[in-house]
Structure 1
Amino acid sequence: MRLLILGGTAFLGRATARAALERGHQVTCLARGTSGQVADGADLVVGDRADTRGYADLVGDFDAVVDVARQPRHVRTALDALTMRVDRWLFVSTINVYADVSPSAVDADESAPLLPAWDGEEWAPEQYGAGKVTCESLVAQAFPSSHLIARAGLLGGPEDVSDRTGYWPLRFAHPSRADGRVLVPHSPDAQVQLIDVRDLARWLVVSAESGTTGVFNANGPSVPLHAAIAAARGVAAHTDELVPVPPEWLAAHGVSPWMGERSLPLWVPWPDLAGMMTVDTTAAQRAGLTVRPLPETFIDALAWELQAGPGRARKAGLSPADEADLITQRLSEPA
C-alpha cells in the first residue's frame, strides 16, 4: 500500500508512519518539517498546507491518506489537490466534536449531536472541536463511500508532548519531596478514558488496508481516575504516602484540571464533564480496534520521559517546587 500521511513529524502522525512501515507499506509524509523528524524509512515531502501549492512536490497516486489536520482550510486544500489521486481518506477527528459532554451524555455513541461547524480563517484553540466538525463534513462530501472518521480521545504513550500521560508516572518516579509524598486529586467517581497512540496508529493503518469506512469513537475503555493514577504509581514502584485533595481545594489554590500550566493532568471536573470521558467505543471495537493495558502505556511513557529529561519545561502538570509547596500547605491545615 502507498500511504500518504498529512503530517507525520509529531506524535500520532509519526506513530502512524511507524505502524505502516512495520507492516511493509510505502510511506510519504507531507509536512512543513518544523515539528520534528519523520519515522525512519518514511519519505518527507516539505509542503505548507496553507494552499494547494503546498502539495506540488508530491509524486504519483496513493492508496490512502491519513489526515490529522485541525483547520478546515488545510483539509480543503488537501482535498482540492489530492481527491483525484487517492482511493480513500482517513481523517483523525476528536471527541471534542460532541455538543454535550455533561452527565446526560455518558456512553454516547457516534450519533450524538455535534457542535455547530466552524469554518473561519483565524483558527484558535477554542475552535478545535467546531473546526473538526467542518473537517469531517468536507472529507465525507469528497469521499462519500470511502472515508473513515476516527474521533479520538486523549492520546497517551511515548512522545506525548502534551505532557499529560507522562506526568503521573514521572512524578511517582521522581517525587517533589524527600518524604516521597505525591499530591493527587480526590474525586472518587471521576473516570478517565485514553488510548495509546500506537494502538490508534495501528488501527488506522489496518483500516486503510481493509477499506474500513464509517465514523468511530476511537478511544480506550473508561476507567476510574484513581485506578489510572494507581497504574502510573505501580509502574514507578512508588510506595510513599499520597496526599489526596478534593477538587474544591485544588480550585481554591489555582490548580487547573486536565492540562496546561499548574494543572493535574487526566482529572476533569466531575460529573460536569462526565460525557467527555465515557464515550461508547463499541463500533470501533467491532471494526478491529484493540488497546493495550494501561500500565504498558505508562511504562513506555515513563521511559520516554526519563530519556527526554525530567527537568524539562512542561506543558501540563505541576512543577516539583509548586507541588511540594501545595503539599506543605495541605499538611499544615487543621485536621
Structure 2
Amino acid sequence: MAAFRPAINKNRRAQRLTSIRVSAAATKEVLILGGTRFIGVYLARQLVEAGHEVTLLTRGKKEVTYQIPDDTDESYNAYKSAVKHIAADRKDKSMLDSKLAGKKFDVVYDMNGREAEEADLILGALGDVGQYIFCSSAGVYLKSSQMPHFEVDAGDPKSRHKGKLNTEALLEDKGVNWTSIRPVYIYGPLNYNPVEEWFFHRIKEGRPIPIPNSGQQVTQLGHVKDLATAFVKVLDNEKASRQVYNISGERFVTFDGIAKACAAAAGAPEPELVHYNPKDFDFGGKKAFPLRDQHFFTSIAKAQADLNWTPEYGLVEGLKDSFEKDFGRGTFRKAADFSTDDLILSQK
C-alpha cells in the first residue's frame, strides 16, 4: 500500500518499515472511536497499512472514508476496501449495547472521548478489552512556572479538558490496560483547529500578523503524522501499559518563530509582526490569536524512550507538508476573519 511519502531520513524510514512488518505479523482487531476527521484519519491508514483489521465507530453522519492528499488512488482504494464501520452514537447506551453485542476487539483507540462517562459506556458494551489507548491533551496540566511539563506533573481539575483527566482516572480504576497520549498543539493537513491556517490566511493576503505581548512566548507544535505513528507504537507495547505520554515536536518555538516558519513553509517573504497588549482591547468574545498566551511545552523524552519513537518532521518541513497538501491547494476549514486584526492595527 503506497501511502505516506514524506521526505524523511532514510534510516528512520527503514526503522518505520521494519516496525510495520513486525506489527503486521500479529494482526489485531482494532476499534477506533472516531477516525474520520483529523488524527484518526492518519492513524486508521497507518493501522491498515500495518495489516491490522480496523473498524471505525462513528455516528455515520459524514463519509466514513474519503481520499486525502497523502493517498494515491491505489492506496485509497485499498484502505476503503479494508476498513469496516459501525454506525452508533457513543453516548447512547442502548445503541452501543446493541451494535457492539458479541463483538470482540483486541484494541480500542478512543480518539474523540471527552468525558469519563463516554469511555465507561464503551467498556460496558464491549466487556474485556485487551488494550485501551486514549487521546488526551497536554491542556490537562496545571499551569506552572517550571517547564517543560512532564507526565507526572499535576493536572488542572478546572481545565476545560478535565473530562480527559477523569477518563484517565476511570481507566485506571477499572483496571484496564490503558495508555493515554497527551498532544500539545497538533498541525498538518486536514487540521480543523485554526493553528497554522490562522497564520497562512494572513500570509496569503500579505497582512501584518498581530501577536500578543512580546511574541517570545515559547510553545510546541507536533505534526499529525508523527502523532499517529506514536499511537501505533503504543500498540502491544508492554512498556506503555497504564502510562501517560506527551507527544509533540522535538523543538520548542516562540510565537514570532511560528509566524516566520509558516511564511517560510508557504514560500512567502518574512511577515511583518505587530505586537499588542490584549488587555488594551475588547474583542467581543472573538479569539484574536489561535494559541494560549503563555509558555506551554512538554518533554517528549519518555515517549522517545519507551515507544522507540522520534518525530520525523521538523517544524518548517512539517508546515510545508501542511501548506502544500492543504491550504496551498485552496482548502481550509475556516474562512479568514480579520476583524480583530483590524481593531489591533487601527490602534498602531
Q: TM-score range by the shorter chain?
A: 0.7 to 0.9
Alignment partner of 1:216 is 2:248: no
Task: Give the Å deviation of 1:45.
Answer: 0.6
Alignment of 1:112-261 (within 5 A): 112-116=153-157, 128-144=160-176, 146-172=177-203, 174-175=204-205, 180-185=206-211, 187-211=214-238, 212-213=240-241, 214-221=243-250, 222-239=252-269, 241-246=271-276, 248=277, 250-254=278-282, 261=286
SS at structure 2 position matched to 1:290: coil
Question: Between the two proteins, what is the percent identity of the paired residues?
Answer: 24
Equivalent residue, structure 2, for 1:101: 143
TM-score normalised by structure 2 residue count: 0.76
Task: Give matches, 1:304-323, under 5 Å.
Answer: 304-307=326-329, 309=331, 313-314=334-335, 319-320=337-338, 323=341
Alpha-carbon contact 1:217-1:280 (below 8 Å) kept: yes
Kept in 1, the 8 Å contact 2:186–2:223? The answer is: yes
1:64 to 107, 118, 134: 107
Q: CA deviation at 1:264?
A: 1.9
Pairwise CA distance, 1:251: 4.0
Q: Quick check: 2:149–2:299 contact (8 Å CA) kept in 1?
A: yes
* In 1, Cα distance between equivalents of 2:196 and 2:247: 17
Tell me the distance in 2 between the aligned counterparts of 1:225 and 1:67.
Answer: 31
Query: Quick one: distance in 2 between partners of 1:129 and 1:168?
Result: 25
Aligned partners of 1:255 and 1:245: how far apart in 2?
A: 16
Instruction: Say if 1:229 and 1:288 are closer, same or farther in 2 by CA, change over 3 A.
Output: farther
Q: 1:79 aligns with which of 123, 135, 157?
A: 123
Q: Which residue does 1:15 correspond to in 2?
A: 42
Shift of 1:305: 2.4
Q: 1:322, CA displacement in angstroms?
A: 5.3
Are the counterparts in 1 of residues 217 and 255 from structure 2 also a CA contact under 8 Å?
yes
What residue number does 1:120 align with? none
State the 1:296 CA deviation: 2.8
Cα distance between partner residues in 2 of 1:11 and 1:294 = 19
Alignment check: 8 A CA contact 1:38 1:44 kept: no
Alignment CA distance shift 1:199-1:143 (3 Å): farther
Give the conservation status (yes or no) of the 8 Å contact 1:70–1:128: no
Q: Is the 8 A contact 1:190 1:225 kept in 2?
A: yes
Once the two structures are TM-superposed, the CA of residue 209 in structure 1 deviates from its matched residue by 4.0
Alignment match of 1:280 (pick from 294, 299, 305): 299
| Corresponding residue of 1:88 | 131
Residue 4 of structure 1: aligned partner? 31
Count how many residue pairs are aligned between Structure 1 and Structure 2: 297
In the TM superposition, structure 1's runs of 4+ consecutive aligned residues that sit over 6 Å from their partners are: none
| Amino acid in structure 2 at the alignment position of 1:189 | Q
The verdict on how the C-alpha distance between 1:265 and 1:171 changes in structure 2, with shifts beyond 3 A counting, is same
C-alpha contact 1:97 1:115 (8 A) present in aligned 2: yes
Amino acid at match of 2:134: F
Q: Residue type matched to 2:89 in 1?
A: D
Asked if 1:290 is matched to 2:310, the reply is yes
8 A Cα contact 1:255 1:264, kept in partner? no
Distance 1:2 1:220 in 2: 30
Match of residue 86, structure 2, among 40, 45, 59: 45
Matches of 1:132 and 1:108 in 2, distance apart? 17
Alignment CA distance shift 1:137-1:206 (3 Å) = same
Q: How far 1:72 moved relative to its partner?
A: 1.7
Letter in 2 for 1:253: F
Unpaired stretches in structure 1, ≥5 consecutive residues: 117-125
The separation in 2 between residues aligned to 1:96 and 1:325, in whole angstroms, is 29
SS of residue matched to 2:130: strand
Q: In the aligned structure 1, how far is the partner of 2:92 from the partner of 2:159?
A: 20
- Rounded to whole Å, the distance in 1 between the matches of 2:320 and 2:110 is 28
